[in-house]
């Protein structure tokens, strides 16, 4: 009788768990899609491909633009380089050269380009990126060649607003970014109906076990799986890479100075998640910071 009661309680407990309470898990072996590029006169042995954007162009090819830091381009030493892949699962994508450099004539910080992210809306590709102080936008018809567009925003002067990421919830666009006013890193959210006019920022993740230093809330990325939103938030790059994952039913609240939404951590940096042909993939930096790799991503019930 005692065993039966125990069994019934355990089964009841399992049934009571929400079916959207999941945790991400790296699945299988990764493959490298991009290495340390040749930048011509801007090449520096110390350069590193870091924050990047990944999307499919109009012709079906896959595009990867990465911020290369530590180059000889001057200023903040950063620019965008592009690679192209025929399929998402192919290794060693073809380098396509420097894709974009900062334009000081337009108010961009010299050498300050950071973290491109692309969405496709109404047949147009829109790239959001950082210029060291602001989030800016560029547009394209083919998903390969982009032209700068009007509009920019920043969270605070000198706070290095960067790492934009966008997703849509019921017709409303959410733009995440990170910044560190007063050296306090946080994930910020703004919303818009037209990708042009944005609300004031709201801090949606900060502090907790991941910390509140200037680099504790980098590369925010949100995906929705089975009714819940999952935020990936990076703290460390390199051999000791760390990204903390949070789960929430509210895409604008993942915990501020608390860990109530925390799911766990992954040993990756600057992740971007892509769903293709029913499979989730996660792209992230090599531990050496000399390239970018992709791996399958699985989801399993959290116990």
Instruction: Confirm whether 7 is domain-assigned.
Output: no
pLDDT at residue number 18 = 59
With tokens 């006169």, the residue in question is: 41
What was the pLDDT predicted at 279?
Answer: 97
- pLDDT of 90 > 50? The answer is yes
How many structural domains are present in the chain? 1
Poorest-pLDDT segment among 80-94, 142-156, 253-267, 270-284? 142-156
pLDDT-derived band at 151, boundaries 50, 70, 90: confident
Q: How far is residue 258's CA from residue 212's CA, in Å, rounded to a whole number? A: 11
DSSP class of residue 5 equals H
Average pLDDT estimate for 13-26: 70
pTM greater than 0.85: yes
Residue 3 lies in a domain: no
Check residue 9 and give its pLDDT: 35
Residue 251 domain-assigned (yes or no) = yes
Taking only the tens place, the pLDDT of each residue in 170-216 is 999 999 999 999 999 999 999 999 999 999 999 999 999 999 999 99
| Residue 4 forms part of a structural domain | no
Residue 296 lies in a domain: yes
What is the pLDDT, as a whole number, of residue 303? Answer: 73
Look up residue 204 and give its two tokens.
């949606």
d(CA 166, CA 123): 17
| Residue 227 vs residue 27, higher pLDDT | 27
Instruction: Give the per-residue pLDDT at 19.
Output: 60
Q: Is 17's pLDDT higher than 50?
A: no
DSSP bridge partners of 296: 27, 281
Residue 14 in domain: no
User: Which structure tokens are listed for 182?
Assistant: 């007063």
- CB-CB contact of 296 with 289 (8 Å): no
The DSSP code sequence of 15-29 is HHS-TT-EEEEEEEE
Between β-strands 124-130 and 242-248, what pairing exists: parallel, antiparallel or unpaired?
A: unpaired
Joined together, the tokens standing for residue 252 give 């604008």
Residue 93 DSSP code = P
CATH number, domain of 82, equals: 2.115.10.20
Mean pLDDT taken over the chain: 93
Question: What's the pLDDT at 16?
Answer: 45
What domain range is 53 assigned to?
Answer: 20-301
Q: Is residue 262 part of a domain?
A: yes
Q: Using the predicted structure, report yes or no on whether residue 239 has a pLDDT greater than 70.
A: yes
Whether residue 152 is contained in a domain is answered as yes
Nearest-CA neighbor of 252 among 183, 184, 179, 173? 173
How many CB atoms lie under 10 A from the CB of residue 106? 11
pLDDT tops 80 at residue 135: yes
> Residue 267, Cβ neighbours under 10 Å: how many?
13
Q: Provide the token pair at 167.
A: 């997703």
């Amino acid at each position: 009788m005692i065993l039966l009661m125990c069994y019934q309680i355990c089964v009841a407990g399992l049934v009571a768990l929400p079916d959207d309470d999941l945790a991400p898990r790296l699945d299988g072996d990764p493959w490298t899609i991009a290495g340390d590029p040749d930048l011509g006169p801007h090449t520096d042995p110390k350069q590193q491909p870091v924050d990047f954007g990944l999307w499919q162009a109009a012709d079906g090819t896959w595009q990867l633009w990465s911020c290369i830091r530590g180059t000889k381009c001057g200023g903040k030493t950063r620019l965008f380089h592009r690679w192209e892949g025929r399929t998402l699962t192919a290794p060693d994508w073809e380098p396509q050269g420097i894709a974009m450099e900062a334009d000081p004539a337009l108010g961009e910080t010299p050498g300050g380009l950071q973290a491109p992210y692309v969405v496709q809306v109404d047949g147009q590709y829109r790239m959001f990126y950082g210029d060291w102080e602001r989030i800016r936008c560029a547009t394209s018809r083919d998903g390969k060649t982009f032209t700068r567009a009007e509009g920019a925003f920043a969270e605070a002067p000198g706070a290095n607003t960067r790492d934009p990421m966008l997703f849509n919830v019921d017709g409303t666009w959410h733009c995440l970014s990170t910044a560190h006013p007063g050296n306090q890193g946080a994930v910020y959210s703004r919303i818009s109906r037209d990708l042009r006019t944005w609300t004031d920022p709201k801090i949606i993740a900060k502090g907790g076990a991941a910390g509140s230093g200037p680099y504790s809330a980098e590369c925010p990325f949100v995906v929705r799986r089975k009714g819940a939103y999952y935020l990936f938030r990076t703290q460390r790059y390199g051999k000791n890479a760390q990204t903390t994952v949070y789960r929430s039913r509210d895409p604008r609240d993942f915990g501020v100075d608390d860990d109530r939404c925390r799911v766990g951590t992954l040993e990756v940096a600057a992740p971007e998640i892509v769903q293709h042909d029913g499979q989730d993939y996660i792209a992230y930096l090599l531990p050496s910071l000399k390239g970018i790799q992709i791996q399958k991503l699985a989801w399993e019930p959290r116990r």
